[in-house]
Amino acid sequence: MMAVISDIHGNFPALQAVLREIEKSGCDRIVSLGDVAGYYCQINECIELLKQKNIPNILGNHDYYLVYDQLCPRSNVANILLEYQRAKIKPENMEWLRCSVPRMECGETSFVHGGWRDPLDEYLTDVSEEYFRNEPAKYFFSGHTHIQSLNALGTICHCNPGSVGQPRDKDPKAAFALFDGENACLRRVDYDIDRIASAMKDCGFGPYVYEGLYSGQKIGAQRSGAESAWEERK
């Protein structure tokens, strides 16, 4: 049995809860589909736990931004949070993140962060059998959207395990998937959101950056107007 996780985004309590639940399932392998970096403050704790568990990581777009000193083109808030992580990440953890691969193949199974046309930053929200026509695999796993999905497409299957650290489907539970080599199933688990909210407060960030965790929404989804990114750091 294999577990597939994605989009941890520095949320250590969520990662701990997911790995505890995976351990109960008897999985002998775990794959991370990327974006260990971004958004929340416990980047070192997350990477060190992944290293301890020998969990390989596929390069996500936020991982790429952090490693290669790039900016997110879509969000000033994301860039402020990446700036914080860039200042705090340990050199050995940055090197581990740098070693993330763009995609992974295992027999008839293929893993990427985004999509198969752009492994780093493609959002797969509406997949079809035709999309995978030129891919030799039978089972496909990708993250990036933060929304769980499982689609049987003729003779192939596509699964998005959802996000460990920032679900965006209005379910605040941390998300992951299990895979037995032929069948995938989606799983959720409660975690202590107050712990990561408190950690963010202690780092000087206001509620804007963590309040969406309580309702399973992205940063800023509960605010009616655009707020200056610089106002989030207090």
Mind giving me the DSSP string for 63-109?
HHHHHTT---TT-HHHHHHHHHHHHHS-HHHHHHHHT-BSEEEETTE
User: Over 60: is that where the pLDDT of 112 sits?
Assistant: yes
How far is it, in rounded angstroms, from Cα 81 to Cα 5? Answer: 22
Residue 105: φ, ψ to 5°: -120, 140
8 Å CB contact between 111 and 58: yes
Fold for 2-231, please state it: Purple Acid Phosphatase; chain A, domain 2 (3.60.21)
134 pLDDT band, cuts 50/70/90, is: very high
- Model pTM score: 0.94
Q: Minimum mean pLDDT among 68-77, 174-183, 204-213, 216-225: which range?
A: 216-225
The residue behind tokens 């998300």 is 175
Quick one: pLDDT at residue 220? 85
Per-residue tokens: 149: 């999905």
Nearest to 122 by CA among 187, 57, 33: 33
* pLDDT at site 180: 95
Looking at every residue in the chain, the average pLDDT score rounds to 94
* Eight-state DSSP code of residue 60: P
Nearest C-alpha neighbor of 108 from the set 132, 144, 128: 132
Q: How confident is the model at residue 222 (pLDDT cuts 50, 70, 90)?
A: low
Q: How confident is the model at residue 223 (pLDDT cuts 50, 70, 90)?
A: low
Would you say 41 and 14 are in contact if contact means Cβ atoms under 8 Å apart? no
Query: Phi, psi at residue 49, to the nearest 5°?
Result: -70, -40
- In the chain, the amino acid numbered 65 is Y
Q: Hey, what are 32's tokens?
A: 């991370």
Helix or strand (DSSP H, E) at 85: helix 76-88
What Rg, from alpha-carbon coordinates, does the chain have? 17
| pLDDT grade for 232, boundaries at 50, 70 and 90 | very low
